[in-house]
Structure 1
Amino acid sequence: MPVTDVITDPENLTLTILADFAAPVERVWAAYSDPRQLERFWGPPGWPATFTEFDHTVGGFAQYHLDGPRGEKSSGRWEFTRIEAPALFEVLDSFVDESGQPIDGFPAMRMTLAFSPTAEGTRMTGTSHFDSVEALEQVLAMGVIEGTKAAMGQLDTVLQDLRDYAQGKGTRVELLDDTHVRITRLVDGPQELVWRAHHDPELMKQWLLGPDGWEMTECEIATESGQAYRYSWAPVGDPETSSGQARQAFGFEGEALLVDATRRAVTTEKMQGTDGPVTLNDLSFYEEDGATLITLLVEYPDVETRDMILATGMVDGMEASYARMEDLVLV
């Protein structure tokens, strides 16, 4: 985890976050001064950022919004007041509404991000200055420390070449907390085709099968928010028996909460024929140099459900499916 220390100083009305990165100052500076790179880590997992304006000059503005998995939105604006590349920049940081106007009752702050070389790479010192103890306490109560730690945990991916970071490493699982799991897999193909492979029934039936010996028997896809989906699988050659016993099938169903082709799809999921448990699946895609990183952020209702589902061999089945996708669909 890049964040190494958090210092809250009510006397001086500051909040300071220290983070260390195994990359040179110039590379870290590039990540913080490019809106497309900022979008990959400024929001915490499940709340990706979109920068709609970015004038990285003194007096210029940056405006962004964070989109939550259930349709929530939080917006912010920076006014750049000082830039000394690649050592630091300073902004006036405000919470704003959808029109870009400051929201009454939410504190504005002066934020300085400084980058200095270390033996291992770069130390980032982020200091936010507040007008009052009440403003500092309000931001702390909003979870800024936890959100910043989670967001910066994504920066290592950005600082490395995507293929160096993920190629050949298979399907990887990170336990973010008791109820959130992040699963990543790099596939060698363009983002548009990887998206199609997840949303075209004929393509899905070629690869989304888990271990060998299974087939997809039902594939109803949700292409818009609010639509339902339903997927089923069964062993190959396992027809209904003469006694009428049902096939050894299983499946999942749910609803699409957000569909942002070809970037992101958020759905609920539960086992067919049951009342739950229900998970929230936040699937996103990012392409670099012809390869696409698939990221699945899963929210479980509790740690017991998380551990039960992971113990089913779900990740091994996902790896078999992704390998099949590369062999059959992305060629």
Structure 2
Amino acid sequence: MVNDIRKRSLFNGIVADLAKDVVSDKTHSSISHDMDDPSPSTSSFSNNSTTVTLSNGVRMPLLGLGTTHSGGYYHDAVLHALRYSGYRMIDTARRYGVETELGIAIRDCGLPRDELFVSTKLWSTDYGAGVESAFRNQSAKLQVDYLDLFMLHFPDVPEWLGSPRQVREETWRRMELLYDQGKCRSIGVSNFEVSDLEEFEDFASVLPHVNQCEFHALYDPTELREYCSQQGILFTGYCPLAKGRALGNEIIVKIAKKHQRTPAQICLRWSIENGIPVIPKSKDVARIEENAQIFDFSLSADDYQLIAALNSFSNKVLKHEDLSTKWNLPDGYKLAGRVYGIPSEQSIDSRPINKQDTKHRIQQLPSITNSPSMKHKGF
């Protein structure tokens, strides 16, 4: 591997093609939302691709920058990824507590808005009647007037909001309304299992374009992926390196030596060759550069067989937990003050959530029957 960062950057012309492919040929305002003519498959991918195509025709980069609050926020690393390493997708969430900081990076990186794919997630305490205000607040923090992807973070619903099934239905109808209004180019979910996704068959006019879940070389939820594929939902992956656990696996190391690559590059390449976007996070500029060098080699059939043998549920890093104990924790609570590279006055708002502010009752959506996506569903 070449260690000199300046030499690494010479290879980034391949990754920089992401800038050309992030959006479709149409402008944001003219993107078609006609779900009567969906793409026949979940995504469009070839070994030379730097993007996948969602069921509504929107192109999504295969490589993005993760920004989870574990490990802190490093502003210079984010700017380097956008300016010099070819990254064009930012994945975040209200819960991570860094949307304000990322908004500064989006503003200052020097890239046109339509070359970026900005993705964030709606936290469960904003479900129901809180969707629209959450969208306004989160997009304002990110300094954008539309989102490329807006997702429900979990299927879990706080008990004070009411019936989980009803809350999810109302929440999704409001997400569809944002989509119909052009405020979100695509809408999706995260951490949804098959049983959660099956609910959408009863009430959704627009099925989720994306389901983002844990996915890496040591853990491949094949049944969930197959269901998503059948429904035209793009399965995307977080935790692509299994929080570092995959990097020391002897099979991954063996394949890396064969290709003269790093274990991280093997894991990321394996994901994108499966047509699954990845969002590795790093505070280290050299690692950010390294993670971008995955578009100029391919894995062999033998490599695939070796990696397939590693798949086990026991390798799942993030176990589903009872979120009811965490509803009132402040956004970005795992940051623990580790926000670097920006003025202190731009640091996160760490005030705890006020239950009364987020106590939404199920309400009838205003003008919902005028929404284009609702008309053919009888609402």
Q: Which has the larger radius of gyration?
A: 1
* Greater relative contact order, per chain length (Cα 8 Å cut-off, separation 6+): 2
Q: Is TM > 0.5 for Structure 1 vs Structure 2?
A: no
Which structure: greater strand fraction?
A: 1
TM-score, normalising length from structure 2?
0.27
Could you tell me the TM-score, scaled by structure 1's length?
A: 0.29
Q: Which is richer in helix?
A: 2
